[in-house]
Chain A
């Protein structure tokens, strides 16, 4: 089943951001994009091109000619093709019939032709290509990269996976789908330390075996990871000071989870159990910096559990159209209100799960 294309991922973004990305890709491919929102403005032809500098300075110094911040993509000068006349954008306009020269520019009247009302793009272009096509059709606009995106929290931004990211993600995603396939298609999950490139925990869905409806693969995997982190931390602490009585309970719990993990690890022939070079459980705050790999898109509970645990990225193999919370039914990771954000990826070409 796995082939070379499995290393190709699609980032799951907010609907708004997804539309923006689609527009950007279409523009880059030279395809038609949505026309910009237009607004009225006043422009005038320069009678003598040598006056360009004087006029630009005058426009800069005249308050009524100032352009609002969100129109920063518009150019002031329009050099019409084939060495034609130079037009200047004077100011925004509200009334299509009002062609009077803006206040404060009267001294320049003899250098300008009659002002005319035109339509200019109010929207900000999302790419060079879009800026170029709008320039041809309406009025010259610049593509300003920092203004092209939506203002989003860092975790919600588009992330270009590097080649080594893709190779690593492909490897673990194949591993998790193989784990699922070898257990009658039960959901499976891996939590991975990306820098050390090791699996910290692997889990299967055990709702049926345990008769416990919350034992989803991702929840089990978070529990195993936390148990391992806690276990290491407690034993480190025990080395330093005699362990306090209160820690005994959680130590026992951690031990239990640990054993459960080990039995699965043995069963799946996993040897990355004892020590993780490069992974420091003592200084790990929850699952910060770890990546999660899931055979199936998580439900709201698991998605939020991953978010609470502060994982870095989530990769899932197949979408869950019925109750997936990271793309299908909801996009929990795109809520600005939440305090942590991770990036979510899925296969570029998702294969629906057969069941």
Chain B
């Protein structure tokens, strides 16, 4: 989870919603001093890519597929996910597609949570909640104290092109990219 938080910190430095994750493979017996290998990791890239689907989990999965090709699916199926915030419905769906069942997350996600908060996408998933949740929350708070650089207002100011309707964006808009 420390590694996932580090990915979150890195995302914050890139002015992204600070959520990070790692997929870990454990070798050896359970509960014995098992050897853990980080398979792949990722942080939110929604703002950089102007793509709301670039959540930490999707980024990490895509990285592994880019690196090892189709065999990534088997590797992922035997891995365990550690993510700072509860996976959203999209990510929970993606995790089910790639067969990741063991999911440990920090804080819950009342807005988009796909692991119990809003709906439960995969009833068979083995969930563990609340690991280092306070740190995950304080990381998010650091972000929301600032503005979201991709929100409509900021964009309109950045590109001086005439905006058709400069509507006021409420505080919540920055939360859409929450993983």
Chain A residues with CB under 8 Å of chain B are: 210-214, 219, 222-223, 226-227, 229-230, 233, 236-237, 240, 246, 249-250, 253-254, 280, 282-283, 285-287, 299-305, 307-310, 325, 330, 332, 335, 337-340
Contacts and interface: CB of A to CB of B under 8 A. Distances in A.
Contacts of B28: none
Contacts of B65: 210-212
Contact of A308 (B14, B161, B176): B176
Given A223-B51, A309-B52, A335-B119, A283 B155 contact: yes
Given A280-B161, A301-B94, A308-B88, A339 B51 contact: no
Interface stretch (B19-27, B78-86, B106-114, B128-136): B106-114
Given A214-B61, A286-B52, A339-B175, A233 B159 contact: yes
Contacts of B58: 214
A299 B50 contact: no
B102 interface: no
A285 B51 contact: no
Contacts of A237: 159
B88 A299 contact: no
B18 to A, nearest CB: 17
A9 B159 CA distance: 39
Contact of B114 (A214, A254, A304): A304
A300 B49 contact: no
Interface residues of B, number: 46
Contact of A282 (B62, B94, B96, B161): B161
A301 B93 contact: yes
Contacts of B96: 300-301
Q: Decide if the interface of chain A is mainly helix, strand, loop or mixed.
A: helix
A335 B97 contact: no
A330 B89 CA distance: 12
Contacts of A308: 52-53, 88, 90, 112, 176-177
Interface in B28-55: 45, 48-53
Contacts of B159: 233, 236-237, 240, 282-283
Nearest to A219: B53
B89 A300 contact: yes
B49 A301 contact: no
Contact of A330 (B49, B70, B119): B119
Given A223-B53, A233-B159, A300 B90 contact: yes
Nearest to B179: A308
B51 A213 contact: no
Interface in B103-131: 110-112, 114, 118-119, 121
Contacts of B175: 339
Contact of B50 (A233, A240, A325): A233
B128 to A, nearest CB: 21
A92 B91 CA distance: 52
Nearest to A229: B50
B44 to A, nearest CB: 12
Contacts of B151: 285
18 contacts: A211-B69, A212-B65, A212-B70, A212-B72, A214-B61, A223-B53, A230-B50, A250-B45, A250-B49, A280-B164, A301-B89, A304-B89, A304-B90, A307-B90, A308-B88, A308-B177, A310-B176, A337-B118
B161 A309 contact: no
B77 to A, nearest CB: 10
Contacts of B91: 301
Given A222-B51, A305-B90, A338-B111, A214 B161 contact: no
A178 B90 CA distance: 27
A59 B89 CA distance: 54
A2 B93 CA distance: 32
Nearest to A253: B49
A172 B13 CA distance: 42
Nearest to B93: A301
A155 to B, nearest CB: 14
Nearest to A222: B53
B164 A286 contact: no
A285 B150 contact: yes
Nearest to B69: A211
B176 A340 contact: yes
A172 B124 CA distance: 37
Contacts of B161: 236, 280, 282-283
B141 interface: no
B11 to A, nearest CB: 13
